[in-house]
Amino acid sequence: MSVVERNWQTTRPTIRERSKFMFNNNLFSDVKFVVQKAAQGKSENKQVIPAHKFVLSISSPVFEAMFYGELAETTDSIELPDCEYDSLLELFRYMYSDEVILSGSNVMGVLYLAKKYMVPSLADKCMKYLQDNLDPSNVFSILPSAQKFEEKKLVDRCWKLISKQTDEALKSECLETIERSLLEAVVKRDNLNVEEIELFKAVDLWATKECEKQGLAADGKAKRRILGEEIIKAIRFPIMDEKDFASVVLDSKILTKEEIVSVLKLRNSVPSPSKEFSKTKRSGSEGDIQRCCRFNSLSGCGLKADGPSIDHNIIFSVNRDIKLLGVCLFGSENNTYSVELKVRALGNSTVLALRTGQFSSELLQGEKFNYFGFKVLFDSVILKRNTEYHVGAKVTGPNSACGDNGDSTVTCSGVTFTFLDIEDTFASNLLDRLRNITTVQPGQFPALLFTL
């Protein structure tokens, strides 16, 4: 401000108004910050923001140490190469006035500075802005920062949005800029709501853009090397439409000949020594799934999953034929679990369904309470009425929640489920070695997922 109005103090009766008047003002300034400001063209220019050591120091312990600590700055001009003009200006605006003007273009920079200079109230405002404005178009730009700053609540909201609106998120321009590690984390999630071919197209596009950045020809060999084996193996090629697989996947030349043969065998249920690719649909892409919820309350007892393996087993029967699609298992907030799950008819050693893998916990909705857990889906199994079935799961990971006050008989969508404890059956010869801690009353398996 080149010209200061006369007697300006008299027209501003509160300390807040007078402090706000000093914001970005040369009057009484005893320090200047030199930062980059993006120009209209390709080049950048430097811009100066005048400030006052006292005001900055009473707002930030970092500035206090910088100006009044044992190793205090003696220069009156400080250059900050790690921030932009607009972001630093908003940091100072908040320090002078408790006000901030956030936008999609500056909020990340302001959040970074709020963390760096230890202004938690401003960081909270940035987080709220990000949460309120989170959508599929920006989720892949917000998630990396939320992870970097360990903002768990925002990280959970990002993953929840990605799971629910996967297709829209994958079509955002932000996807092209994410790190390979984040792309891998996305592809490995079981609860994506997207057709597998669309997921592959997004992965293929990301690899193509990455080849362009590195000056490589975007052929199948280069894209595969950039993607890495973990991403390739996590894509569920066997569940794709045959025409899509032939016209999109094969044309990309990302798969080897051996893998193509393996996929074709899996698609046609031909025995193959190679089981590299899952043929189980992701839980978010399933249609109208019915749920049989058997617990009336959530217990705080916790189920210990780490350490020696502990089995969870339940016996049940149904009064009419159904297709069993999977189960829900309890977990705990923002954790990942390794699971080996088997379904068999009681008294028969033949495994009807087998599902192994890692699953990330999310907030699931039950009939009587919500809980952190995950869905374990497998190829549908036809269960015959009045036949007892055994579902067993080995779960490894952090401690999980626990259901309580379970009902022995539950009717869901016209199907009556009858649950039994292992001890109530004549299957001791089959299950006597299992260390079971799940029963009808407390334990695991909050829901069975099925269709009629």
- Same-domain pairing of 122 and 207: no
What pLDDT, on a 0 to 100 scale, did the predictor assign at position 85? 95
Q: Which among 132, 158, 189 is the end of a domain?
A: 132
**158 inside domain:** no
**56 inside domain:** yes
**363 inside domain:** yes
- Same-domain pairing of 54 and 110: yes
Six-digit token string for 339: 């699971």
**Does the pTM exceed 0.75?**
no
Element (H, E) at 114: helix 107-116
Bridge partner residues of 81 (DSSP): none
Nearest to 449 by CA among 284, 279, 312: 284
Element (H, E) at 358: strand 351-360
What pLDDT, on a 0 to 100 scale, did the predictor assign at position 270? 73
- Same-domain pairing of 332 and 412: yes
- Same-domain pairing of 316 and 430: yes
- Same-domain pairing of 443 and 361: yes
Q: SS3 helix, strand, coil % of the chain, rounded to 5? A: 35, 25, 35
Residue 196 and residue 281: Cα distance in Å, rounded?
8
What pLDDT, on a 0 to 100 scale, did the predictor assign at position 298? 87
Instruction: Tell me if 448 sits within 8 A of 417, measured CB to CB.
Output: yes
What pLDDT, on a 0 to 100 scale, did the predictor assign at position 39? 56
Bridge partner residues of 412 (DSSP): 415
C-alpha radius of gyration, the chain, whole number: 29
**327 inside domain:** yes
- Same-domain pairing of 317 and 417: yes
What pLDDT, on a 0 to 100 scale, did the predictor assign at position 432? 44
Which CATH number fits the domain that encloses residue 210? 1.25.40
Place of tokens 């984040």: 182
- Same-domain pairing of 294 and 438: yes
- Same-domain pairing of 302 and 243: no
- Same-domain pairing of 358 and 438: yes
What pLDDT, on a 0 to 100 scale, did the predictor assign at position 431? 44
**274 inside domain:** no
- Same-domain pairing of 126 and 208: no
Long-range contacts, 221-226 (Cβ 8 Å, 24+): 221/253, 223/252, 223/254, 224/254, 226/180
Burial of 40 (0-12, 13-18, 19+ CB in 10 A): exposed
- Same-domain pairing of 323 and 204: no
Q: Between β-strands 31-38 and 77-84, what pairing exists: parallel, antiparallel or unpaired?
A: parallel
Helices (DSSP H) in 149-228: which residue ranges? 152-164, 166-170, 180-187, 196-213, 220-227
**105 inside domain:** yes
Q: pLDDT truncated to tens, each residue of the chain (452 aa)?
A: 446 788 999 999 999 999 999 999 999 999 999 998 765 544 568 899 999 999 999 999 999 999 999 888 888 899 999 999 999 999 999 999 999 999 999 999 999 999 999 999 999 999 999 999 999 999 999 999 999 999 998 999 999 899 888 999 999 999 999 999 999 999 998 888 888 999 999 999 999 999 999 999 999 999 999 999 999 999 999 989 889 999 999 999 999 999 999 888 887 777 666 667 887 777 665 556 788 999 998 876 556 655 555 688 889 999 999 989 899 999 888 888 889 999 999 888 889 988 888 888 888 878 888 888 998 888 778 999 999 999 999 888 888 888 888 899 999 888 999 998 876 554 444 444 445 568 888 889 999 999 87
**18 inside domain:** yes
**226 inside domain:** yes
What domain range includes position 190? 167-267
- Same-domain pairing of 257 and 306: no
Instruction: Tell me if 35 sits within 8 A of 44, measured CB to CB.
Output: no
Long-range contacts, 67-76 (Cβ 8 Å, 24+): 67/31, 73/31, 76/30, 76/31, 76/32
Instruction: Tell me if 190 sits within 8 A of 283, measured CB to CB.
Output: yes
Number of domains in the chain: 3
DSSP 246: I
One-letter amino acid of 45: N
DSSP 209: H
Which CATH number fits the domain that encloses residue 446? 2.60.120.820
Query: Which residues, including other chains, have CB under 8 Å from residue 348's CB and lie 6 or more apart?
Result: none
Residue 407 and residue 213: Cα distance in Å, rounded?
58
DSSP 247: I
One-letter amino acid of 367: E
